[in-house]
């Protein structure tokens, strides 16, 4: 997952709104979002290589998502799957800050990650790049392949558009349109992959090629407990191949 835009308690009707793109190699097998047979409370896509996930919600109102760090020079090939961190939170009962406190002593074993976790009462952030557990204040935030709210062009652009959408009536199509923006940024970060690749990766949605945006996800958890989840999947050529939608009331 390479871009997560979210609004936490920033609107009187929405407890949490998330608009996120998962970027990954198309050769890595994955299953589209659904409730899991082995964890029926969990609604998420699934990585079929390591059986974890990059973003999910539960019927009890838990939410988690994760992004990685790009620099190939720092990658540890035998590190455990970061997707398991999301799965473990979703299937657990710890508060976000307590969960991250438990992860912190072994966080160095994983390749670089930044993670969000919420339980309906609090939303927290943790990265093994700085080691600090942070409770997130209400507002509009963004996360890409760096620390929370690092002002990369796609993050700043996405936050501005998300804030504008929050001012109007909620429309999932508008959020998916935001996530579908393929315009490259003019100013590029330096993540160790070279200028040409940085430019290709700088757009909100990365379209075409062996690596790109595999799916766009929109999640809305209302203050009334109504939860809605949309996921649009993309093929290697950048074309959309279908959208799934789930709607349910939180169970507790």
Structure confidence at residue 197 (pLDDT):
84
Beta bridge partners of 107: none
Are 28 and 224 a contacting pair, CB within 8 Å?
no
Distance of alpha carbon 86 from alpha carbon 42, whole angstroms: 11
For the segment 20-37, the average pLDDT, to the nearest whole number, is 96
* Whether pTM exceeds 0.75: yes
Question: pLDDT band at residue 252, thresholds of 50, 70 and 90?
Answer: low
Which H helix or E strand runs over 198?
A: helix 195-201
Residue 21 has pLDDT above 80, yes or no: yes
Domains, the chain, ranges and CATH? Answer: 3-249 (3.60.60.10)
From residue 11, give the alpha-carbon distance in Å to each of 58, 139, 199, 220: 21, 9, 34, 11
Structure confidence at residue 1 (pLDDT):
57
Which H helix or E strand runs over 85?
A: helix 83-90
pLDDT per residue as tens digits for the range 73-121 = 788 999 999 999 999 999 999 999 999 999 999 999 999 999 999 999 9
For the segment 144-160, the average pLDDT, to the nearest whole number, is 96
Burial class (CB in 10 A: 0-12, 13-18, 19+), 246: middle
Structure confidence at residue 160 (pLDDT):
98
Structure confidence at residue 147 (pLDDT):
96
pLDDT per residue as tens digits for the range 174-203 = 999 999 999 998 888 877 788 888 888 899
Distance of alpha carbon 53 from alpha carbon 87, whole angstroms: 6
Distance of alpha carbon 139 from alpha carbon 144, whole angstroms: 17
For the segment 23-27, the average pLDDT, to the nearest whole number, is 95
């Amino acid at each position: 997952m390479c871009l997560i835009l979210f609004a936490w308690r920033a609107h009187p009707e929405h407890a949490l709104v998330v608009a996120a793109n998962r970027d990954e190699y198309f050769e890595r097998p994955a299953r589209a979002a659904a409730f899991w047979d082995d964890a029926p409370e969990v609604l998420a896509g699934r990585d079929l290589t390591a059986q974890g996930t990059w973003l999910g919600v539960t019927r009890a109102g838990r939410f988690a998502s994760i992004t990685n760090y790009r620099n190939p020079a720092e990658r540890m090939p035998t590190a455990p799957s970061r997707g398991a961190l999301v799965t473990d939170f979703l299937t657990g009962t710890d508060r976000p800050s307590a969960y991250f406190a438990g992860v912190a002593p072994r966080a160095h074993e994983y390749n670089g990650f930044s993670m969000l976790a919420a339980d309906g009462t609090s939303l927290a952030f943790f990265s093994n790049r700085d080691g600090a557990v942070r409770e997130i204040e209400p507002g509009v935030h963004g996360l890409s392949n760096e620390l929370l709210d690092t002002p990369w062009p796609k993050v700043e652009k996405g936050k501005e558009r998300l804030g504008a959408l929050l001012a109007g009536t909620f429309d999932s199509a508008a959020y998916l349109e935001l996530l579908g923006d393929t315009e490259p940024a003019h100013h590029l970060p330096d993540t160790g992959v070279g200028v040409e690749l940085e430019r290709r990766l700088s757009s909100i949605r990365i379209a075409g090629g062996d690596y790109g945006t595999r799916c766009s996800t929109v999640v809305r958890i209302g203050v009334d407990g109504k939860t809605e989840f949309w996921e649009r999947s993309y093929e290697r050529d950048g074309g959309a191949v279908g959208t799934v939608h789930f709607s349910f009331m939180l169970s507790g």
